[in-house]
Chains A and B, each alone.
Chain A
Amino acid sequence: MRGRITALWAALCLLLTGCGRMPYPREMEDMALLRTMGVDREGGVLALTVSTGPRARGLQGDQESALVLSARGESLSAAALSLQGLSDSYVFFGYVDQLLLGEELAREDVRPVLDWFARDAELGLGARVWVVRGSAREAVESGGDRGVDSRLTTLRADGEMGVASLSRTAGEVYADLLEQGTAYLPALTVSGQEAGSLKDGGYAVFKDGALAGYLEGEEALGLELLAGQSSVHMLEERTGEETVSLRVTASSAACRLTGEGRLSLTCRVAVHLEEYRHPLTASQLEDLQNRVKTREEGRVRAALDRLRDWKADCLGLGPRAGLTAPQVWSGLQENWDEAFAAMEPEVEVRVELHP
């Protein structure tokens, strides 16, 4: 009897949780499993362009070309709903793990898109995000029959291995925007219509949800150094009569606030001597170390100057440094953007040269 009463209570509690409606079953082979989504602002409305990877057809292994769909709507949900009508299979957003944001949308505000990813039942904040310097639709369509997802997967893997720009998830970006009002995202450029047409385009920096500008070349490397995740890159330096190649393999960064409220940054860089003809003397090595230090310091300063111009501490240097001096930080926190723009941070780069 007690068991029955317990079972009745359990059933009642279950219904109160809102689980009274059972989920609806769907066969996976009747779904278009979307991998990539591009979002643009086109003529005042939002445009969604989605793409699957190459779709398998049966056990024979022959493949159907990637499905690319595009729809417009006043809202993202409306555009997504329109997509359902364009395909002969159920359009499933659960596998969208690559989000491309068009430049026009980025200049306006990307937060609604990230918010949609956070709230939607199928989408998730684990998707990797890129800003396309141009149209996201163009980037999605550049994959052709094979789709763009394999190229983006490669870029993501390269970023994790340190041979391409750092990739970021929607969750990381949205958290940065909500907590510090600024964030950075890897940017892509589209060059042509063949596979591999998406190239690294530096980093896009956002301030209050809108694109503030791009960091490219030396500035982009400086941002990576400040983030403590420098991508592997080569340096060529002349020493004596010969040119030697150096590989920057790792970096880390630490920041602190001085008692006067000044930001102090220390970057450590590991550099390996890669190509040289003759063994280098101690003085040559020291000379090389100083030159690398000067170059890397220049990169860091270039990135910092640009970020200060935009009043965008997208790396969260202030909050991180504030942990070392909470009292000083409490005085700066209110107007950190202004303080960041006005101050001249101390930058120190320490180079470990491994011959």
Chain B
Amino acid sequence: MFQRPTDPPHPRQEPRIPQPLSLENLEQTFEGCADFNKRQVYLHGDPGRQVTVCYIGGMARTERINDYVFRPLAQDPMLASAPESQVFDLLEKGAIYAQKAERETELDQVALAIIDGSCALFFPGRQDALVVPVATEEKRSVGEPENEPSLKGARDSFVESLRTNTSLVRRRLRAPELKVKEHIVGRQSLTPVDVVYLAGIADPDTVARLEQKLDAMDIDGVEAAGNLEEYLVEASRTPFPLMAYTQRPDRFCQGLLEGRVGLIADGIPLGWLIPGTIDQFFKTGQDRAYHWMTASALSLIRYLCALVTLLLPGLYIALVTFHPEAIPVKLALSIVSAKQEVPFSTIFEVLIMLLAFEVVQEAGLRLPSPIGATVSILGGLVVGNAAVDAHIVSPAVLIAVAIAGVAGYTMPSQDFGNALRLWRFLLAILASLGGLLGLVLGCAALIYHLAGLETFGVPYLAPFTTGVQVRRGHPTLFRLPLPRMKWRDGAVHTQNRRNQA
């Protein structure tokens, strides 16, 4: 039989640069890199004693190299008077005004260090180099979380810098039990990814599984959130997100306190919380800030809105097309009067309007915000109104689809909202085929699907059904007064379940 030729395996090379450490090999490694710089310096002006400083422009900060490295090298008389064999040790032990100076013997380490913003000092005739961190700290400043606005709470947000993000977490959780373990992911990107958790609270098994999966990841780069999500959990099976994420450090810390394991990647201004059970996608950072009654009411509304956005178009099709007797008389008469003179069937109308809603939304998102707003207004209001006036679309359908769409926006998690949007289409199609029977079968399939999902050994529907004899903790649909929330969620397998006296 004919077999398609398969691509050869893609082995990871360790070490990446197999040559021995020398200035020449380093230059060869960075050949063709315009941003690679080197400069020879005489120690205290002595031409007999010279050192070569290598760094990458833009990654190393010029002022720091000048002040911390070039100035002591050029001006410190001790470097010229000390025996030549001791100069390296003097520089390593403090003659350079940097927080750290490390001796490296492998080309791999030196190359990666200067990519990270360090500079490397090479002495003639030596097989090692001194690496001094002088990295630039050019990064976006900590701003407000745009996707999770806060009315009553902290206003800082994660940024692209990993160390800034871990510092934001450390400032909130000062306990030394807060552990930050770093892993490098991506062959080409070499992205640092930190696993953050509270020792003694988080499940060690979950931490170990997460670290194991991170180490097993062999990809080119971590440029998007999906690069982590789709490798760490079985995301390809479901449109529903299996890892909750947040821009807010306070919410991230709350997750750590609940016994979840955090994940922060350099270059992505988000923090993930693992395991991601379904209740996580209905919670907001404000839930603990508002009064418990208000927070409970809002939580119930969000769950209700999830049902509305999921079921309303399908329910409309099923009732209007298959089971009109289930509609109250006056509403039925209104629907009939609105539907008069509209040339399309209800099924076609609803599906087309759902599609149009998605198109308008997508167009609004892709364009710059001023134009995006115009497109939304034009698409939503003007075209919608004109379509109703021209009897192309029934206003009842427009209202049903708009309510379903707006209800979807109440979802705190965009990913979860997107999954609901996909299932909304599916349920509408099933309702078109079999009315309420089709809709109910679709709902059963959805529950079956959700019940089959698992994230790091925890059932996705864990707050509602743990699947094991573990006490749940607290109600999910609403929030109790905080002094009565004494337990961490049982399904997360925390080591210490009590969270207050």
Give CA–CA (A321, B395) in the complex, Å. 56
Question: Which residues of B have CB within 8 Å of A25?
Answer: 321-322, 345, 347, 432, 435
Nearest to B388 among chain A residues (CB) is: A59
* A293 CB to nearest B CB, Å: 43
Q: What number of residue pairs across chains A and B have CB atoms under 8 A from each other?
A: 82
Interface string of A19-36 (1 = CB under 8 A from B): 100111111110101010
Question: Which residues of B have CB within 8 Å of A55?
Answer: 336
Q: In the complex the two chains form, is A23's CB within 8 Å of B345's CB? A: no
Interface string of B343-358 (1 = CB under 8 A from A): 0011100000000000
Nearest to B319 among chain A residues (CB) is: A28
Q: Is B324 an interface residue (CB 8 A)?
A: yes
Q: Is B300 an interface residue (CB 8 A)?
A: no
The one of B335, B340, B441 that contacts A59, using a Cβ cutoff of 8 Å:
B340
Nearest to A29 among chain B residues (CB) is: B339
* B290 CB to nearest A CB, Å: 41
Which residues of chain B (309-348) have a CB below 8 Å from chain A?
320-325, 329, 332-333, 335-342, 345-347
Q: In the complex the two chains form, is B322's CB within 8 Å of A31's CB? A: no
Q: In the complex the two chains form, is A29's CB within 8 Å of B340's CB? A: yes
Which residues of chain B (421-452) have a CB below 8 Å from chain A?
432-435, 437-438, 441, 444, 448, 452
Q: Is B103 an interface residue (CB 8 A)?
A: no
Q: In the complex the two chains form, is B340's CB within 8 Å of A23's CB? A: no
* A94 CB to nearest B CB, Å: 3
Q: Is B391 an interface residue (CB 8 A)?
A: yes
Nearest to B321 among chain A residues (CB) is: A25
Q: In the complex the two chains form, is A28's CB within 8 Å of B337's CB? A: no
Nearest to A93 among chain B residues (CB) is: B325
Q: In the complex the two chains form, is B346's CB within 8 Å of A27's CB? A: yes
Interface string of B188-229 (1 = CB under 8 A from A): 000000000000000000000000000000000000000000
Given known A23-B435, A25-B347, A94-B324, contact A58–B341 (CB-CB < 8 A): yes
* B299 CB to nearest A CB, Å: 32
Q: In the complex the two chains form, is A27's CB within 8 Å of B339's CB? A: yes
Question: Which residues of A have CB within 8 Å of B338?
Answer: 59
Question: Which residues of B have CB within 8 Å of A61?
Answer: 337
Nearest to B437 among chain A residues (CB) is: A19
Q: Is A122 an interface residue (CB 8 A)?
A: yes
Q: How many residues of A contact B (CB 8 A)?
A: 29
Give CA–CA (A124, B326) in the complex, Å. 11
Question: Which residues of B have CB within 8 Å of A22?
Answer: 433-435, 437-438
Q: In the complex the two chains form, is B332's CB within 8 Å of A33's CB? A: yes
Q: In the complex the two chains form, is A94's CB within 8 Å of B341's CB? A: no
Q: Is A92 an interface residue (CB 8 A)?
A: yes
Q: Is A53 an interface residue (CB 8 A)?
A: yes
The one of A19, A56, A95 that contacts B340, using a Cβ cutoff of 8 Å:
A56
Given known A29-B340, A94-B324, contact A59–B452 (CB-CB < 8 A): no
Question: Which residues of A have CB within 8 Å of B335?
Answer: 28
Question: Which residues of A have CB within 8 Å of B346?
Answer: 27-28
Question: Which residues of B have CB within 8 Å of A97?
Answer: 329
Nearest to B432 among chain A residues (CB) is: A25
* A90 CB to nearest B CB, Å: 10
Give CA–CA (A2, B177) in the complex, Å. 43
Give CA–CA (A346, B332) in the complex, Å. 51
Which residues of chain A (84-135) have a CB below 8 Å from chain B?
92, 94-95, 97, 122, 124
Q: In the complex the two chains form, is B320's CB within 8 Å of A28's CB? A: yes
Q: Is A238 an interface residue (CB 8 A)?
A: no
Q: Taking chain A's interface residues, is the majority helix, strand, or loop, or is none over half, making it mixed?
A: loop
Nearest to A11 among chain B residues (CB) is: B441
Question: Which residues of A have CB within 8 Å of B336?
Answer: 28-29, 31, 33, 55-56
Question: Which residues of B have CB within 8 Å of A29?
Answer: 336, 339-340, 342
Q: In the complex the two chains form, is B325's CB within 8 Å of A28's CB? A: no
Nearest to B433 among chain A residues (CB) is: A22
Q: Is A57 an interface residue (CB 8 A)?
A: yes
Question: Which residues of B have CB within 8 Å of A7?
Answer: 448
Q: In the complex the two chains form, is A95's CB within 8 Å of B332's CB? A: yes
Which residues of chain A (1-43) have a CB below 8 Å from chain B?
3, 7, 10, 14, 19, 22-29, 31, 33, 35
Q: In the complex the two chains form, is B340's CB within 8 Å of A57's CB? A: yes
Question: Which residues of B have CB within 8 Å of A35?
Answer: 329
Interface string of A61-88 (1 = CB under 8 A from B): 1000000000000000000000000000
Question: Which residues of A have CB within 8 Å of B395?
Answer: 59
The one of B339, B444, B448 that contacts A28, using a Cβ cutoff of 8 Å:
B339
Question: Which residues of A have CB within 8 Å of B329?
Answer: 33, 35, 95, 97
Give CA–CA (A94, B323) in the complex, Å. 9
Give CA–CA (A23, B337) in the complex, Å. 24
Nearest to A63 among chain B residues (CB) is: B337
Give CA–CA (A92, B329) in the complex, Å. 12
Q: In the complex the two chains form, is A94's CB within 8 Å of B325's CB? A: yes
Q: In the complex the two chains form, is B340's CB within 8 Å of A31's CB? A: no
Q: In the complex the two chains form, is A27's CB within 8 Å of B434's CB? A: no
* A53 CB to nearest B CB, Å: 7
Q: In the complex the two chains form, is B435's CB within 8 Å of A58's CB? A: no
Give CA–CA (A61, B342) in the complex, Å. 15
Give CA–CA (A272, B320) in the complex, Å. 49
Give CA–CA (A27, B437) in the complex, Å. 18
Question: Which residues of B have CB within 8 Å of A95?
Answer: 324-325, 329, 332
Give CA–CA (A124, B325) in the complex, Å. 10
* B25 CB to nearest A CB, Å: 55
Give CA–CA (A3, B346) in the complex, Å. 35
* A67 CB to nearest B CB, Å: 13
Nearest to A6 among chain B residues (CB) is: B448
Given known A27-B321, A95-B325, contact A56–B333 (CB-CB < 8 A): yes
Among A27, A33, A61, the one with the most B-chain Cβ atoms within 10 Å of its Cβ is A27
Q: In the complex the two chains form, is A28's CB within 8 Å of B324's CB? A: yes
Give CA–CA (A14, B322) in the complex, Å. 19
Question: Which residues of B have CB within 8 Å of A92?
Answer: 324-325
* B366 CB to nearest A CB, Å: 34
- 26 residue pairs of the A-B complex, CB under 8 angstroms, read A10-B444, A14-B441, A22-B435, A22-B437, A23-B322, A23-B437, A24-B322, A26-B324, A27-B345, A27-B346, A28-B321, A28-B339, A28-B346, A29-B336, A29-B340, A31-B324, A33-B324, A33-B332, A33-B333, A53-B333, A56-B336, A59-B341, A59-B388, A94-B325, A95-B325, A122-B325
**A residues lining the B interface (CB < 8 Å):** 3, 7, 10, 14, 19, 22-29, 31, 33, 35, 53, 55-59, 61, 92, 94-95, 97, 122, 124
Q: 11 new A-B pairs (CB below 8 Å) besides A25-B345, A26-B322, A56-B336?
A: A3-B448, A22-B433, A22-B434, A25-B321, A28-B339, A29-B339, A33-B324, A57-B337, A59-B338, A95-B332, A124-B325
Leading 7 A-B pairs by shortest Cβ distance: A94-B325, A56-B337, A58-B340, A25-B321, A29-B339, A23-B435, A23-B322
**B residues lining the A interface (CB < 8 Å):** 320-325, 329, 332-333, 335-342, 345-347, 388, 391, 395, 432-435, 437-438, 441, 444, 448, 452
